[in-house]
Structure 1
């Protein structure tokens, strides 16, 4: 009995030592990645764009010079017989078709756009990560039951991935009804198979690593290896994908709002809804569509630049 206790204590000490080594290695990897990110112009530009967008979304409603829903200059717009009022002192971006201040609507709409993108990404990330962990753990632990579970989950995700993302999102939104919550759920569901497959593949790669083989040789339980070793070391690509998915979520959410599946209240500014409202007046006043479109493009570009820079910084093949 004493011999078995000593052996168990030795295995635990070796496991703790190995885990500490992996943590140190992981910390070194992230330190090296941060150093590369600080030296990357692409990462700096992306981070600056994201920081400005987040700051705008937070303080925008307080910076707006006018109420975004008030039709203060409605009479002036109708008096001009369809001739829109352009940029001027009181209205930096001019007026929309109902006499509302475009600059104020752009500022306030940034918060709605950010909220939709972040919530959609979190839905896809959390649910997709749970599915990916279940599938990856089943495949890593082995056994017939594990293989069957992994196969069923992956075939289901393959079916979801075979459908065009925007078509799937539109179908979900059409079934659930018109609302901002519907848009967030629809875009989030589209992201689930991406995160699930990515995390599952990363876990399979980590499962064949030397430290996993060493842990198995020491007799450490497979479940403990998966939770304390494989999973933490598999999260790097998922974090990168989350950044890239924010850009995709913002674009797809704007597309659903443009198709009329977003917020049913047109008085509440959101960049996708503003694009839909501007479509009818594009010939007379293209800037009504240009302002929210430019905001969406620049914001998506910022997340894409930072995500690509993170991917390169964490790629071991690109580390010198």
Structure 2
């Protein structure tokens, strides 16, 4: 848990520097470095391709993802499957459905789960982080006590393995696609909360905060109008990285049978679970969704790591 919290606190410290030696803002300099970063370009390219497929996939899919048009050609009991061919680029699954069409349509479900789960964790986590950071920065002794109580609860959540926490939440709420979104979102909440709180503490001693307090500006306006906007940089970076984690964890929950109860609806994690029983006779049915999950997560990870390095003064050349 200490390694996880150390990484979060280190990322939060980056907002302490809001202007570089050249006089440009931190985000301007970071964007300038991102444009020349091969890692960022590759990551952004993968993400753009994934989003494009998720958006237009249902319209360009050659067949319905639920249509069993070649039922007589596939006999799972006899290990008879149809591999890639001209009319079925990725072959047929165990129910004689076009695997390529299911991959295209399943990309939308995978993206939807990842984005909604991350937005849920981001929103609730930021609200908790703002409350904790504001209490510690401007709340005096009582505020610091409130901050301490909130952070100990957050540390307890961070101490739990993320997948174990997600499985526990999903098992309590029951099997559904909404459950997967909530479970993965809950895992992200303590990360965003601690990160934003640490970033706000880094900004709390800035000159503009001291000047605002000296001028008698209300604490609420200082927090919401000045500290929070200047503390969001590392949180945005973490949101990019969290999308990769959310996609992997959502696929894991679907693989464990905690996702959408309608197995006919294509989703990469569900497709991977369905292919498990036919791995010996048709291993490619498991390879396609696995590669899709890995490449998509890689894209978000590459872009997020590139953004982290661009913001970190210790990693700049």
- Match of residue 197 from structure 1: 194
Alpha-carbon deviation of 1:250? Answer: 0.1
Counterparts of 1:143-292 in structure 2, within 5 Å, are 143-292=140-289
Question: Would you say the 8 A contact 1:173–1:183 is kept in 2?
Answer: yes
Which residue of 57, 62, 65 corresponds with 1:65? 62
Indicate the SS of the match to 1:48.
helix
Alpha-carbon deviation of 1:79? Answer: 8.9
Question: Would you say the 8 A contact 2:184–2:249 is kept in 1?
Answer: yes
Query: What is the alpha-carbon distance in structure 1 between the residues aligned to residue 212 and residue 24 of structure 2?
Result: 20
The answer to whether structure 1 residue 311 and structure 2 residue 308 are counterparts is yes
Change over 3 Å in CA distance of 1:23–1:308 after alignment to 2: closer
Alpha-carbon deviation of 1:74? Answer: 1.6
TM-score by length of 2: 0.90
Question: Would you say the 8 A contact 1:129–1:195 is kept in 2?
Answer: yes
User: Which 5+ residue runs of structure 1 have no aligned equivalent?
Assistant: 1-21
Change over 3 Å in CA distance of 1:217–1:26 after alignment to 2: farther
Query: What is the alpha-carbon distance in structure 2 between the residues aligned to residue 271 and residue 79 of structure 1?
Result: 20
Alpha-carbon deviation of 1:144? Answer: 2.8
Aligned residues: 299
Question: Would you say the 8 A contact 2:40–2:307 is kept in 1?
Answer: yes
Indicate the SS of the match to 2:307.
helix
Change over 3 Å in CA distance of 1:79–1:232 after alignment to 2: closer
Query: What is the alpha-carbon distance in structure 2 between the residues aligned to residue 152 and residue 26 of structure 1?
Result: 39
What root-mean-square deviation, in Å, do the aligned CA atoms of Structure 1 and Structure 2 show? Answer: 1.9
Indicate the SS of the match to 2:88.
coil
TM-score by length of 1: 0.89
Query: What is the alpha-carbon distance in structure 1 between the residues aligned to residue 232 and residue 76 of structure 2?
Result: 59
Deviations 1:230-279 (A, max 9, x none): 11111000000000000000000000000000011111000000000000
Indicate the SS of the match to 1:290.
helix
User: Which 5+ residue runs of structure 2 have no aligned equivalent?
Assistant: 1-17
Query: What is the alpha-carbon distance in structure 2 between the residues aligned to residue 276 and residue 27 of structure 1?
Result: 50
Alpha-carbon deviation of 1:151? Answer: 1.5
Alpha-carbon deviation of 1:319? Answer: 4.2
Query: What is the alpha-carbon distance in structure 2 between the residues aligned to residue 41 and residue 79 of structure 1?
Result: 44
Change over 3 Å in CA distance of 1:191–1:49 after alignment to 2: same
Does 222-231 or 98-107 show the bigger shift? 222-231
Alpha-carbon deviation of 1:227? Answer: 1.9
Query: What is the alpha-carbon distance in structure 1 between the residues aligned to residue 19 and residue 225 of structure 2?
Result: 10
Please tell me whether Structure 1 or Structure 2 has the larger radius of gyration of its CA atoms.
1
Query: What is the alpha-carbon distance in structure 1 between the residues aligned to residue 232 and residue 163 of structure 2?
Result: 26
